[in-house]
């Protein structure tokens, strides 16, 4: 069994992310996926929902809703986790606690909107771990939309 770490926050409902997870599973029917949602500070969020002010609570709600959405779309997640606010630190923390991932699937906003791309997250993770990194960019007109 191979495990992949799916890292997303505001783009967790991006249909292209689901397509990428399905594509990996088509190549490896035994693949399992763990979703990691960094607890991004609310002030950094492009799609702020409601009156949520606590980053960890917001990330947990998003992770739980995403689990339901992925399952509904035929892509069950073996686990969902909330990580550190910084995505690199969140990934490092996850890999330290639970090593053995075969690769990463990172979903970001488009370049001009993405803090993660400004910090060059996909390249950083690829060079740090030497594992495959699938990078999915949300379309320009992407919005968080309604979660279950």
Q: What is the 3-state secondary structure (H, E, C) of 1-41?
A: CCEEEEECCCCCCCHHHHHHHHHHHHHCCCCEEEEEEECCC
Q: What is the pLDDT of residue 26?
A: 94
In a domain, 43, yes or no: yes
What residues make up the domain containing 49? 3-137
Please state, for a pLDDT cut of 90, what percent of the chain lies above it: 63
pLDDT score at 21: 96
Residue with tokens 């990934």: 91
| Residue 34 near residue 4, CB atoms below 8 Å | yes
Whole-prediction pTM value? 0.87
Give pLDDT, residue 146: 44
**Would you say the C-alpha torsion 117, 59, 89, 100 has a positive or negative sign?**
negative
For range 111-134, the mean pLDDT: 94
Lowest mean pLDDT among 40-44, 45-49, 122-126, 130-134: 45-49
Distances (CA, A) of 83 to 9, 27, 88, 94, 148: 11, 28, 10, 7, 22
pLDDT at res. 51:
46
Any domain includes 99: yes
Q: Nearest to residue 125, comparing CAs of 28, 4, 30?
A: 4
148 found inside a domain: no
Q: Does the residue 147 lie in any domain?
A: no
At 147, the pLDDT band (50, 70, 90 cuts) reads very low
Residue (of 49, 105, 120, 58) closest to 85 by Cα position: 58
What is the structure's pLDDT at 50? 47
Residue 59 pLDDT: 86
Q: Which long-range contacts (CB under 8 A, 24 or more apart) does 95-99 make?
A: 95/5, 95/129, 98/34
Q: If you average pLDDT over every residue of the chain, what do you get?
A: 87
**What CATH number is associated with residue 104?**
3.40.50.620
- Whether the predicted pLDDT of 49 surpasses 80: no
Mean pLDDT of 112-119: 89
Per the listing, tokens 């997640």 go with 77
């Amino acid at each position: 069994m191979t495990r992949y770490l799916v890292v997303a926050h505001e783009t967790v409902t991006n249909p292209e992310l689901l397509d990428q997870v399905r594509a990996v599973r088509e190549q490896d029917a035994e693949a399992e996926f763990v979703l990691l949602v960094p607890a991004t500070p609310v002030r950094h969020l492009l799609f702020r929902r409601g009156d949520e002010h606590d980053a960890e609570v917001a990330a947990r709600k998003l992770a739980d809703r995403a689990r339901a959405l992925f399952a509904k779309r035929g892509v069950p997640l073996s686990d969902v986790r909330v990580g550190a606010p910084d995505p690199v630190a969140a990934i490092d923390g996850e890999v330290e606690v639970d090593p053995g991932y075969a690769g990463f699937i990172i979903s970001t906003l488009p370049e001009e909107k993405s803090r993660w791309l400004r910090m060059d997250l996909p390249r950083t993770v690829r060079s740090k771990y030497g594992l495959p990194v699938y990078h999915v960019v949300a379309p320009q007109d992407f919005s968080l939309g309604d979660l279950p």
